[in-house]
Amino acid sequence: MSQTEPVSVNELTLEEKASLTSGNSTWRTTAVRDVVPALTLADGPHGIRRQIKGSGDALGLLDSVPATCFPPAVALGSSWDAALARRVGAALAREASALGVDVVLGPGVNIKRSPLCGRNFEYFSEDPHVTGVMGAALVDGIQSRGIGACVKHFAVNNQETDRMRISADVDDRTLREIYLAAFEHIVREAGPYAVMSSYNRINGVHASENHWLLTEVLRTEWGYDGLVVSDWGAVNDRVAALAAGLDLEMPPTRTDQEVVDAVREGRLDEQTVTRSASRLHALTRRVASAERFEDWDVGAHHELAREAARGSAVLLKNEHDVLPLPSLSRVAVVGELARNPRYQGFGSSHVVPTRLDSAWDALEAAGASTFAAGYRLDGAADDALRQEAVEAAADSDVALVFLGLPGEIESEGFDRTSLDLPGVQVQLLRAVAKTAPKVVVVLTNGGVVSVADWEADAILEAWLPGQAGGSAIADLLLGVCSPSGRLTETIPRRLADVPSHLHFPGGDGHVVYGEGRYVGYRYYDTLDVDVAYPFGHGLTYTRFEYSDLDVTETGPNEWAVECTVTNAGTRAAAEVVQLYAAFDEDRPTRPRHELRGFAKVELAAGAGTRVSFTLSGRDIAWWSVSRGGWRIDAGPFAVEVGASSRDIRLRASLTAAGDGQVDALGRMSTLGEWLDHPVGGPVLRERIGTKFTDADMPPALLELMRNIPLAKFSTFGIGLSAEFVNGLVAAVSG
Ligand code: BGC
């Protein structure tokens, strides 16, 4: 892409401007004369998928130039390490640049509403805060080299089932607090050059043709000034999409003439076309200043992928400190996945790696000598393989059992139907557990699996760890470093416990988000539902102590929070200190607590450090549908600091001043709302005295009346005329 002199898009013909609002081919935008150069876009979120020339169709998924396959978002998110994500982003940008790519199609920041979503491996978390922070860090890293990032899939694309047609039916408060929140954070904090609109509909309207989403929320409210590109094939109506605020259709459907005709026939404002064309032009100018590289250090990027995989694995369980392994001499390595790793998911994010480490190769190099495949990856029963593994395990001190989801079970394009591993793997684990003195399970999977009933001394959840995952797993098992990942999603005991279970994946064209804001731990913790492993959980080879919580009010609805974290064990490790805002209500009106901050701190044995956070009004706000805005209530709440959502170590009670906004009263406001209102209450009391509030009246009658809209007191003929009510409303209005 060559640098061009600034020329206004206004000078182009209508046909030229229309051509800019759609691509020229699957991965290239359209160039116009020497005014606007073409850009190259490529997946993806954890490695560059630059398709080989001549095979540029969207389905040539396995046919791309080798590039580093970094750990997918399921893993990178579990690192809770924004600095690491930034470094991975910068490395992605360097490879993009070397491969002639201007815009990287990632990160994916949709919320894990159900553990069954086939694409959960491409997403960070069930929680919008950790998603937003990790997504913003990746965007920052990519854009630090001037390459564009494209945040996707905007919005509410939380399943693969019927993803191109389904309507996600979600209430406004849930949209704002859960499904839009990470996008909002990234747009405001990291300024992504591009945002990708999703395939699905939101409350009946396709995301790519959704004016509310693409213009009112994204641009007017959040101030976004970048480009909106469709997901590949997500535009259904070119003209409606442009009018809604979509700038670029990919790949092209060769419908530019429809745009031109719509303008000529007065159905579309030419300004709309000019504006979208200008946004593409602005993007070409932004990326024109990107650092340009010929190549990258393949070894160094592989090492970064290994470091990222090490930082991402979550040690779920470690009884009697079976890990780290003191030696490999009496260890049996069991499981085909140790030799034949699963390290990334299938679909548009698939990367042809530059290298590939298997855990078995790494363990063998470190001294392991016994391997048995134990099962077939295609799930077919093979008693001889199992028997061989059971015998190897019986003859060992520790059986290292590698289990995970085969690629056929989880992928872009469809959802899983169960949380279970293939039967042959579960049977193998049961058989090995009966004979081996100790069992350590190493899991590789993109979405969480059932682990609750396993007989294992230790479980290391490595996720899909990218191309260097095998050696990273060996590093962790051998204690070269301590595991330091934490769960960004709850592992439920049973599928039936998942809050969206009865509403996922919907049918007949609609999926109703019936669980509302109670996604993941927001549900389990509010209702105290037993889980296998809670959100935020993860062990290390040491233990941390928390002390000296100090909370200072720094302004109205603003606090500085500090505490001390100390490594009280004998090994260096990292702790992820988590900050939650908590609301204890007998009858919950909001999740019991929500993550509002986190910090990953690396501490040598015996070392301690102060960790600080800020808590803002927005952190305790909720989206009020009636106000159409965020609302901060005056009143008590608590700040919690802990090592998981179920392991809160420190807690302080605070009082919020509230936002001071007073709701307007009207004829349909209830008696209770009038009486409790700071302005309306005194006016009403002055006019009616103790009528309807007399302490001599039966309490049930008082309560009954508090719930009646004032206007109905005249309708029912129980004491207030319509004129009186109108007069009251006039007295408190304006
Ligand atoms: C995926 C996007 C991807 C695009 C281009 C779509 O099917 O949903 O995430 O960026 O294809 O490959």
pLDDT in tens, 389-398: 999 999 999 9
Which residue minimizes the CA distance to atom 12 of ligand 1? 348
Please say if the pLDDT value at position 237 is more than 50: yes
Q: What is the pLDDT of residues 439-491, one digit of tens each?
A: 999 999 999 999 998 999 999 999 999 999 999 999 999 999 999 999 999 99
Least reliable range by pLDDT among 239-248, 539-548, 693-702? 693-702
How far apart, in Å, are the Cα atoms of 319 and each of 1, 429, 438, 476, 534? 56, 17, 10, 16, 17
Q: Residue 695 has what pLDDT?
A: 85
58 lines ligand 1 (CB under 6 A): yes
525 is catalytic: no
Q: Residue 24 has what pLDDT?
A: 97
In this structure, are residues 558 and 614 in contact, taking their beta carbons and an 8 Å threshold?
yes
Closest ligand 1 atom to 49 CA:
12
Which one of 127, 140, 231, 415 is the catalytic residue? 231
How much distance in Å is there from the Cα of 340 to the middle of ligand 1?
27
pLDDT band at 44 (very low <50, low <70, confident <90, very high): confident
Q: Which residues pair with 629 in a beta bridge?
A: 624
What does the chain come to in residues? 734
Minimal CA–CA distance to 258: which of 279, 240, 275? 240
Average confidence (pLDDT) over 48-56: 76
Average confidence (pLDDT) over 105-129: 98
Q: For a pLDDT cut of 70, what percent of the chain falls above it? A: 98
How much distance in Å is there from the Cα of 165 to the middle of ligand 1?
15
- Helices 82-98 & 128-143 angle (0-180, nearest 10): 40
231 lines ligand 1 (CB under 6 A): yes
* Token reading at 503: 């509403």
How much distance in Å is there from the Cα of 487 to the middle of ligand 1?
26
43 lines ligand 1 (CB under 6 A): yes
Least reliable range by pLDDT among 49-58, 414-423, 556-565, 677-686? 49-58
* Distance in angstroms (rounded) separating the CA atoms of residues 690 and 541: 67
* Token reading at 25: 């081919």
Q: Residue 62 has what pLDDT?
A: 76
Q: Residue 60 has what pLDDT?
A: 67
**DSSP per-residue letters across 24-91:** SSSSBB--BTTTB---BEEB-TTS-B-BPTT--STT-TT-B-----PPPHHHHHHTT-HHHHHHHHHH
Average confidence (pLDDT) over 665-673: 95
* Token reading at 664: 């307007």
With the most atoms of ligand 1 within 8 angstroms of its CB, the residue from 25, 28, 43, 121 to mutate is: 43
Closest ligand 1 atom to 153 CA:
9
Please say if the pLDDT value at position 5 is more than 60: no
Q: What is the pLDDT of residues 122-178, one digit of tens each?
A: 999 999 999 999 999 999 999 999 999 999 999 999 999 999 999 999 999 999 999
282 lines ligand 1 (CB under 6 A): no
pLDDT band at 700 (very low <50, low <70, confident <90, very high): very high
Please say if the pLDDT value at position 45 is more than 90: yes
Average confidence (pLDDT) over 365-370: 97
198 lines ligand 1 (CB under 6 A): no
* Distance in angstroms (rounded) separating the CA atoms of residues 100 and 41: 9
> Whole-prediction pTM value?
0.96
371 lines ligand 1 (CB under 6 A): no
How much distance in Å is there from the Cα of 123 to the middle of ligand 1?
13
Q: What is the pLDDT of residues 544-577, one digit of tens each?
A: 999 999 999 999 999 999 999 999 999 999 999 9
- Helices 256-264 & 270-287 angle (0-180, nearest 10): 140
Q: Residue 734 has what pLDDT?
A: 72
644 lines ligand 1 (CB under 6 A): no
Return phi, psi of residue 404, to 5°: 170, 180
Contacts with 475 (C-beta within 8 Å, 6 or more apart), sequence order:
306, 310, 362, 481
Which residue minimizes the CA distance to atom 6 of ligand 1? 232
Average confidence (pLDDT) over 176-185: 98
Which residue minimizes the CA distance to atom 4 of ligand 1? 232
Minimal CA–CA distance to 165: which of 216, 208, 109? 208
249 lines ligand 1 (CB under 6 A): no
Q: Residue 2 has what pLDDT?
A: 45
Please say if the pLDDT value at position 55 is more than 70: no
Reduce the secondary structure of 175-215 to three states and give it as a string: HHHHHCHHHHHHHHHHCCCEEEECCCEECCEEHHHCHHHHH
Please say if the pLDDT value at position 503 is more than 90: yes
How much distance in Å is there from the Cα of 348 to the middle of ligand 1?
5
* Distance in angstroms (rounded) separating the CA atoms of residues 376 and 677: 68
248's torsion region: left (phi>0), alpha (psi -120 to 50) or beta? Answer: beta
152 lines ligand 1 (CB under 6 A): yes
pLDDT band at 58 (very low <50, low <70, confident <90, very high): low
How much distance in Å is there from the Cα of 346 to the middle of ligand 1?
12
pLDDT band at 61 (very low <50, low <70, confident <90, very high): confident
348 lines ligand 1 (CB under 6 A): yes
How much distance in Å is there from the Cα of 676 to the middle of ligand 1?
52
Minimal CA–CA distance to 221: which of 181, 193, 179? 181
Return phi, psi of residue 168, to 5°: -80, 110
